[in-house]
Chains A and B, each alone.
Chain A
Amino acid sequence: MLMSIILLILAAGVPYYLILEKNKKLNNEKIFLISSFLVFCAIVLSSFVDSQYSSLLVIISLLSAIFSVYKVTKTTNFYKFGYYLLFINAPFFMLFIREQGLLYSLSLLITLSGIYSIAKHYEKYYGSANYHGISGTTLATPYVGGFLTVYLITLALYPPFPNALFLLSSMIKEETTLLWYIVVVVLFFGNFMVAMRVMPKTVFGTPNSNLHYVDLTSKEKIMHFVIIIALLGLSIIGFKGTIA
């Protein structure tokens, strides 16, 4: 039970809203990095413990996830967007069988590392990681637009990317309950809404004539290619797991 509560604290968003967001010394980037690190710790820790969690913990994490969906509608900052997504997915992490849950979380972290890189790019060339107003990247900076589209589609739980495949695999193999169905339905749409909301703001739209758009450098492109290859590698594992 104690381990479950520790995992809940690490993986679900409640403590972050209560502590980290209240701390004025921490900026969004730091909160994002701390959150990712703690979720990673939760992944490692959970591989040593039993994956059965009490319904109460799942309900708490679900409520936290719903609150995160609400919070994410208020932000246009990539860092905040990133760590809210971690909390939105916490119930998946709590509910699903160990291996699938771990691989799902890993896929989520890798996808968010791509978002983090895009955020750094925005910060470098546009002054902040705020994506409001940086519209039309598909036309102005096709590589940024392309990579961002891939990450958002991954987060929206669409194949051929691994998040969708691990989710599908877990869904087919899990013992289902009413709570299970509620979590799946809420989060299936939660992730989708959150990811798709970003697209009209930055991927689509007319390029802003007041901005000097800069596309990815060769070094950045290679980094993003590596992230996508990692995602596709996980997809193969996810596909095999789903079919098996």
Chain B
Amino acid sequence: MEKIILLIPGIPLVIAFILIFVSKKEHIPKVSIMLSSMIALLGLYGTYYVITTDESIHGLGGLFVFNELSAILVPYVAILGLVIRKYATKYMWDEPGYKRFFILLNFIFSAIYMLVMSNNLVILALAWQLMSVSLYLLVSFNVASKSAVKNGSWTMLIHKGADLLFILAVILTYQTFGSVDLGHLSQTWLEMSKNPTDNPTIFVIGLLFLLAAMMKSAIVPFHIWLPYTSEAPTPVSALMHAGVVNVGGILLNKLAFLLLLTPAVLNIAFVIGLFTAIFASVLMLVVPDIKRSLGYSTAGQMGYMIMEVGLGAFSLAIYHLMVHGVFKATLFLESGGLIRYARHDPNIPQRLSYKLFWEEKTEHKSNKTFNLIALFTILPILIFIGVKMVLSEEFFEFNAAIVILAFGWLTGTQLFLSFFKVSRSDSIKVILALVSSFIIILFTYEFIGLALEHFIYGEHALLFYGAATLNVTMIMSMVALGAIMIIGWLFMYKQHFVGIPKNKMPKKTQWLFYKLLAKEAYVSDFFIKYIKIFKKG
């Protein structure tokens, strides 16, 4: 009976097929939503089954599996899909190609479910490619717009690259391990990790999979396709940022035991993820287009996700992609309304660059700055030490926890500062906000992260942290942590509380820095100049 759950990837295809024959426009969303609700219910039943019986559901010749990872991701995708479909019902009503939109939407959902539930590398490769082509057709949905089509071509080009690397990795995997069955491969990889050998082919396989994941998850330098898909319909953007772009993290989780054998790949993932998280987040602040800014924000979050994988916190990456997905989908669906509102009121939204350099504000001098910095850096470290005494020893044996917490704290602080709109005069509120954000981050990452880790990987979870250790000493970690906190705090402080430039002109260095960032570090210019493959199309 429970095997029926394995039919989930096929249901969207059935919906798409039925929609071809639906002639009345009013019936298209009804059919789509009604049958999609069935997927959500099946997904939830599957999750219930996996939790209560502690067993995975295998079937269809061993090609598909509904395991712990699917139990988390399938209901997430299905419920998110329902919201997006419901939103699209009215949002897309006046667009030409209403039926085409819903058919394509179902195709991409089918590819996502297939990817999540696949238990075979060939099926995974097919889902990986199906998603590329469905995404291309959705990004280029506004067929009459030249720029939408051109940006769709960029997307397709990078995704095709990811497809090739993926296929080459599958071939090498088959040649090295003699199987494409993921369940069997995972067992082999786990056994091999007990007696590690230095095999360059395994490193190449891991690297190819990582590169493929990076391309689809918009990690620098392959990020360029994501911010430029802003012409896609808003529901597509929501789906893309909440679902499609996360496939890199999903893939690396499915191949987690392979990465146990390639610590160097994990280290590469950490470094590139870290760079992407910082680079894309900074660009997000200066880009004036709201949807492109959200695009860079997603790229930054994906960097964060890959960084977590690089630290061995695989399950945390899943938690991150889900939380970020829900948050970003909401933002995108709301951005449509905000843009409409802004068109009626020219003062909203204000550009961040305007705020940073031009807006007149009352300058408020404070001689407590350094005291506050000291407080905000020393206090969290003291809390770390305090928590260390309470929590498990293993957790703090690995650098992963420290780096993740530091970044988590920065993210939380940013959120609180934005949320409360505190000013320099509200020092007490600032202190409370920063400290409370840090505590919340500790709770979230420690307890939810660990719970998810036990559910997905059980006793093997600590193996990943062991493999991902960067061999940085504890002291170095603490120094790095302190530096990150000071820089982060200063950055946020400067960002929120800027005085008036004396001559009402920005400083030259600041201006040059801003110009570099506003031009998106010239990466897109490079692509436009040197990759003109589709220009003559």
Residue A40 at the B interface, CB < 8 A? Answer: no
Mark the stretch among B136-144, B396-404, B411-419 that contacts chain A: B136-144
Asked if B153 contacts A200 (CB within 8 A), the reply is yes
Q: Let me know if A205 and B146 touch, CB within 8 A.
A: yes
Q: Contact: B140 with A204, CB < 8 Å?
A: yes
Interface check A110, CB cutoff 8 A: no
- Contact bitstring A170-204, B, C-beta under 8 A = 1, else 0: 01100010000100010011001100111111011
Q: Give CA–CA (A73, B535) in the complex, Å.
A: 11
Which of B130, B153, B156, B160 counts the most chain A CB atoms within 10 A?
B160
Q: List A residues 144-193 near B (Cβ within 8 Å).
A: 149, 153, 156, 158-160, 164-165, 168, 171-172, 176, 181, 185, 188-189, 192-193
Please report the total number of B residues contacting A with Cβ < 8 Å. 35
Chain A, 111-163, CB within 8 A of any chain B CB: 136, 138-139, 142, 149, 153, 156, 158-160
- Taking a contact as CB atoms closer than 8 A, the residue among A159, A171, A201, A203 that contacts B143 in the complex is A203
A242 at the interface (CB under 8 A from B): yes
Contact indicator A139/B125 (Cβ below 8 Å): no
Assess the A205–B143 pair: CB atoms within 8 A: yes
A158-B132 contact given A73-B536, A200-B153, A205-B144, CB 8 Å threshold: yes
CB-contact partner of B144 in A139, A142, A165, under 8 A? A139
Contact partner of B125 (CB less than 8 A), chosen from A73, A156, A168, A205, is: A168
* Given A158-B130, A172-B170, A172-B180: A199 in contact with B537 (beta carbons within 8 A): yes
In the complex, how many angstroms separate the beta carbon of B317 from the nearest chain A beta carbon? Answer: 27
Contact B174 A172 (CB under 8 A): yes
A189 to B160, CA, bound (A): 8
B143 contacts across to A, CB distance below 8 A: 136, 138-139, 203-205
Report yes or no: B133 in contact with A197, Cβ–Cβ below 8 A: no
Whole-angstrom CA separation of A168 from B61 in the bound complex = 20
Main secondary structure of the interface of A (DSSP, over half): helix
Q: Is the CB of A193 within 8 A of B167?
A: no
Given contacts A138-B143, A176-B171, A196-B153, contact A201 B164 (CB under 8 A): no
Q: Count of A residues near B, CB < 8 Å?
A: 35
> Contacts A160-B126, A172-B180 given: A196-B534 contact, CB under 8 Å?
yes
Contact residues in B for A149 (Cβ distance below 8 Å): 137
Within 8 A of A (CB), among B162-198: 164, 167-168, 170-171, 174-175, 180
Q: Does B472 contact A (CB under 8 A)?
A: no
In whole Å, how far is B108's beta carbon from the nearest beta carbon of chain A? Answer: 13
Q: In the complex the two chains form, is A153's CB within 8 Å of B133's CB? A: yes
- Main secondary structure on B side of the interface with A: helix
Which residues of chain A are within 8 angstroms of B484 by Cβ–Cβ distance?
none
What's the Cα separation between A200 and B130 when bound, in Å?
Answer: 20
Q: Is B533's CB under 8 angstroms from A206's CB? A: no
Cβ B137 vs Cβ A185 within 8 A: no
Give Cα A197 to B534, complex, Å: 6
Q: CB of B82 within 8 A of chain A?
A: no
A197 touching B126 by the CB < 8 A rule? Answer: no
State which of B122, B126, B149, B164 has its C-beta within 8 Å of the C-beta of A200. Answer: B149
Bound-state CA distance A242–B144 (Å) is 38
Tell whether, in the assembled complex, residue A243 and residue B120 are in contact, meaning their CB atoms are under 8 Å apart.
yes
* Distance between A193 CB and nearest chain B CB, rounded to angstroms: 6
User: Which residue of chain B has its CB nearest to the CB of A137?
Assistant: B143
Interface presence of B349 (CB below 8 A): no
Q: Please, how many angstroms separate the alpha-carbon atoms of A159 and B97 in the complex?
A: 23
Assess the A204–B149 pair: CB atoms within 8 A. Answer: yes
State A189–B159 Cα separation when bound (angstroms). 12
Is B96 an interface residue when CB atoms closer than 8 A count as contact? yes
Q: Is the CB of A205 within 8 A of B537?
A: no
**B129 CB–A CB distance under 8 Å:** yes
Give the docked Cα–Cα distance between A172 and B122 (Å). 9
> In the assembled complex, how far is the CB of residue B492 from the closest CB belonging to chain A, in whole angstroms?
43
Chain A 52-75, CB-CB to B under 8 Å as 1, else 0, gives 000000000000000000000100
- Residue in chain B with minimal CB distance to A158: B133
Chain B, 97-131, contact with A by CB distance < 8 Å: what is the 0/1 string? 10010000000000000000000101001100110
Q: Compute how far the CA of A55 lies from the CA of B132 in the bound complex, rounded to whole angstroms.
A: 33
The answer to whether A171 and B537 touch across the interface, beta carbons within 8 angstroms, is no
CB neighbours (8 Å) of A196 from chain B are 153, 156, 534, 537
A159 B130 Cβ-Cβ under 8 A: yes
Q: How far is the CB of A196 from chain B (nearest CB, A)?
A: 6
Chain A contacts with B in 67-107, Cβ cutoff 8 A:
73
Q: Known pairs A138-B143, A168-B126, A200-B537. 7 more at Cβ < 8 A? A: A149-B137, A158-B132, A176-B175, A200-B534, A201-B537, A204-B140, A205-B144
User: CB within 8 Å of A: which residues of B?
Assistant: 61, 63, 96-97, 100, 120, 122, 125-126, 129-130, 132-133, 137, 140, 143-144, 146, 149-150, 153, 156, 160, 164, 167-168, 170-171, 174-175, 180, 533-534, 536-537
Pull 29 A–B residue pairs with CB atoms less than 8 Å apart, ordered by A: A138-B100, A139-B96, A139-B97, A149-B137, A153-B133, A156-B133, A158-B130, A158-B132, A159-B129, A159-B130, A160-B126, A164-B129, A165-B126, A168-B122, A172-B122, A172-B170, A181-B168, A188-B164, A192-B160, A199-B537, A200-B150, A200-B153, A200-B537, A204-B149, A205-B146, A205-B149, A206-B144, A242-B122, A243-B122
8 A-B pairs with least C-beta separation: A200-B537, A204-B143, A206-B144, A204-B149, A197-B537, A158-B133, A159-B126, A138-B143
